[in-house]
Every structure is written in structure tokens, then in C-alpha cells.
Amino acid sequence: MSHWIVTTLKATSVSHFMTGSMWAWPLCETLHFVGLALLIGVVGMLDLRLLGRLRHLSYAAVHSLIPWGILGFVINLVTGVLFFVGAPDQYLDNVAWWYKLAFLAIAGLNVLYFETTQARRALAIGPGDDTPRAFKVIGAISVLSWFMVLYWGRMLPFIGTAF
Amino acid sequence: MTDFFAALENLPFSIWLRESNSIWAYPTMLTLHTIGLALLVGASAALDLKVLGWGQAIALTDLRPMFRWMWIGFWVNALSGVVLLAADATTKAAAPMFLIKLGLIAVGVVIMAAQRRAVFAPAAAITRSARVLAAASLTVWFVAIAAGRLMAYPGLFFGL
């Protein structure tokens, strides 16, 4: 693909660094996987609580781990952007990447909806409390969409041709 | 030992894994390996961060169910890992990075078992040694991830 986005990004020094340095890509891959583990660990615990599991924990207790989930997300956002700037064509031409982005959007909107409209109700969930059905639905959407993000990300080199 | 890995690599199943273009062969095994990683290291990191003082409101005993997820992740990765090894056993078994990764996993599992004993003890308290274990656990798993990831770039280390 020789879209202007591709030519513009590929002309940047960041792009040259990502593809030219022997270290840059492997290092970012490693960080991307560490970030993934942090994100799935924290989000997974939160989702389990929303689904009514880990019931002896209050929602607020699990919520206190969120900064680490955000750290994982930021690590992956930064390294992900670096991959994209490094080789934009291998992602734009790759159907797996678009699926990954779509599920990322679903996961993001789900979090946004939950945190903006349900946060206060959620923080009232104490140890031993069951969760309302709406929370279970949100928890299920969250866990499924994050695992789909992981799945399509892992499929990038196989369905498309990303390295 | 080399004969064993060569035999493993030449099993019909291993050849299929390596040479099939099916999405259900190598790609699916690699995806399962990543999901297992997320469960094992994710659950483990959550526990470690709590022990290291994050999430004060969480009682240590409340984290007992996390061990189930760690072990599920571990077994998903042990099984998918054996399958991935079978696909090119002679190359992987001779790769220093693979042996480093296996060593780190062994240390990680020993730490995990020690943490499990501490968390399931009648009076689960966060002692100094519990904090040391948690810091070691975080470090070992993250370095194991790095070693696994860097297996894809054999030229980067050891001049292979």
C-alpha cells in the first residue's frame, strides 16, 4: 500500500529506528507481552468480580489494582504505535489488525460506559455481594473482547504478513 | 538426547504442525501459548503487586482463587509449549534462550508453590520473605517472557 500515511510515517526517524535497529523491534515485542500480562491480569480479576466470582473481595479492593492495568495498557499503546510507525503497510493491509482494532474499540467503549455511568454503583459492591445482571454482561463483554484483541494480535503474522 | 529431539521433530504430528498452512496448526498453538501466558503471569502479577503493598483492602487469603488461574495458565502453556517444541525440537532444544526460559520457568514454579503455601497458611501474613518472593516472582516471569519473545530473534544473542 502506498497511501500517503504510509509514505509519511516511513519517512520519519522513529520509523527508521524501529526497522533499522537490531534491538528496537525485539525490545518492543517483549514490552508488549509484559504489558499484555499486566493488562489481562488486572482486567481479568476485575471482570471475574463483575461476573460475581472472587466474591469475598469488595469491588473497590480489586479496583485498587487498576493503575497497574492502566500501566500495561499504556506500555502496549506506546509499543503498538511504535510498531505501526515502523511498518504501517504491514498493518493497514492486514485484516487481522483491523479486527484487533475493532475489538479494542469494543473493549474501550465498554470500559468507558462502565466507568462513566456505573462506577459509583460498582464501588458499593461489598465482600460477599452478588453483582447485578448488567454488571455480569459488561464483565463478559470485557473479558471476551480483550481476549479477541489478544487473538487477532497473535494472528497478525499468520493471517496477514506482519513480522 | 539429540536423537530424541530428532525423533520428536519427525513425528507426523510435528511435520503437520510445521508444514501445514492451516490456521489450526502452529498459529493456534502460539495463540494458546499467549493466552496461557496472560493467565499465568497476569494472575501472578496481581498477587505479587498486592503482597508488595498495592491493594491494601485485599486480604491475602482473598487471593487464593488466583492460584487456580495461575495453574490453568501454567498447564495450557506446558501442553502448548510441548507441541510448539515438537514442531522444531532440534533447533529449539539447542537454543540457549530456550534453556534460559525453561530455567526461569522452573524457578517461577518453585516460587509460585512457596507463595501458595504462604497464602494458604492459617494466618496468612505478609512477612518480609513474602515480599521478597513476590518481587522475585514478578522479575522471573517478566524475564521469562523476554526470553520467550527473544527466541524469535536468535541472532540477537549468542551469535547464533
- pLDDT tens-digit series, residues A35-77: 999 999 999 999 999 999 999 889 998 998 999 999 999 999 9
CB-based contact B151:B98 (threshold 8 Å):
yes
- What ipTM was predicted for this assembly? 0.89
Q: Where are the alpha helices (DSSP H) in A65-116?
A: 66-86, 88-92, 95-113
CA angle A32, A37, A39 (to 5 degrees): 90
A75-82 contacts: CB < 8 A, separation 24 or more? A75/A31, A75/A32, A75/A34, A75/A35, A75/A38, A76/A32, A76/A35, A76/A36, A76/A39, A79/A28, A79/A29, A79/A31, A79/A32, A79/A35, A80/A32, A82/A14, A82/A18, A82/A24, A82/A28
- The nearest CA of chain A is from the CA of B113 a distance in Å of 19
Which among B46, B145, B150 has CB closest to A45? Answer: B46
Mutate to test the interface with A, among B62, B64, B97 (most CBs of A within 10 A): B62
Q: pLDDT grade, residue B113 (50/70/90)?
A: very high
Query: Rounded distance, CA B148 to CA A37, Å?
Result: 14
Q: Which residues of A touch B150 (CB under 8 A)?
A: 26, 30
Q: How far is the CA of B92 from the CAs of A160, B75, B81, B96, in angstroms?
A: 25, 20, 11, 8
pLDDT at B158 (0 to 100):
59
Query: Rounded distance, CA A102 to CA A114, Å?
Result: 18
- The nearest CA of chain B is from the CA of A104 a distance in Å of 16
CB-based contact A135:A141 (threshold 8 Å):
no
Work out the burial of residue B149: count CB atoms within 10 Å of its CB; fewer than 13 is exposed, 13-18 middle, 19 or more buried. buried
CB-based contact A155:A45 (threshold 8 Å):
no
Residues comprising chain A, all counted: 163
Q: Which residues contact B104 (CB under 8 A, 6 or more apart)?
A: B140, B141, B143, B144, B147
A107-114 contacts: CB < 8 A, separation 24 or more? A107/A141, A107/A142, A107/A145, A107/A146, A107/A149, A110/A138, A110/A141, A110/A142, A110/A145, A111/A142, A113/A138, A114/A138, A114/A142
Q: Which residues contact A96 (CB under 8 A, 6 or more apart)?
A: A152, A153, A155, A156, A158, A159, A160, A162
CB pair distance less than 8 Å for B141 and A37: yes
Q: Which residues of B touch A65 (CB under 8 A)?
A: 46, 49-50, 54-55
pLDDT at B160 (0 to 100):
41
Backbone angles phi, psi at A162, to 5 degrees: -65, 150
**Per-residue pLDDT reduced to its tens digit, A89-116:** 999 999 999 999 999 999 999 999 999 9
**Per-residue pLDDT reduced to its tens digit, B120-137:** 887 767 888 889 999 999
Q: Which residue of B has its CA nearest to A65?
A: B55
pLDDT at A2 (0 to 100):
67
pLDDT at A144 (0 to 100):
97
**Per-residue pLDDT reduced to its tens digit, B5-61:** 998 998 888 998 888 888 888 999 999 999 999 999 999 999 999 899 887 778 788
pLDDT at A1 (0 to 100):
55
CB pair distance less than 8 Å for B37 and A64: no
The proportion of chain B whose per-residue pLDDT surpasses 70, expressed as a percent, equals 98
Q: How far is the CA of A2 from the CAs of A7, A25, A87, A157, in angstroms?
A: 6, 22, 12, 20
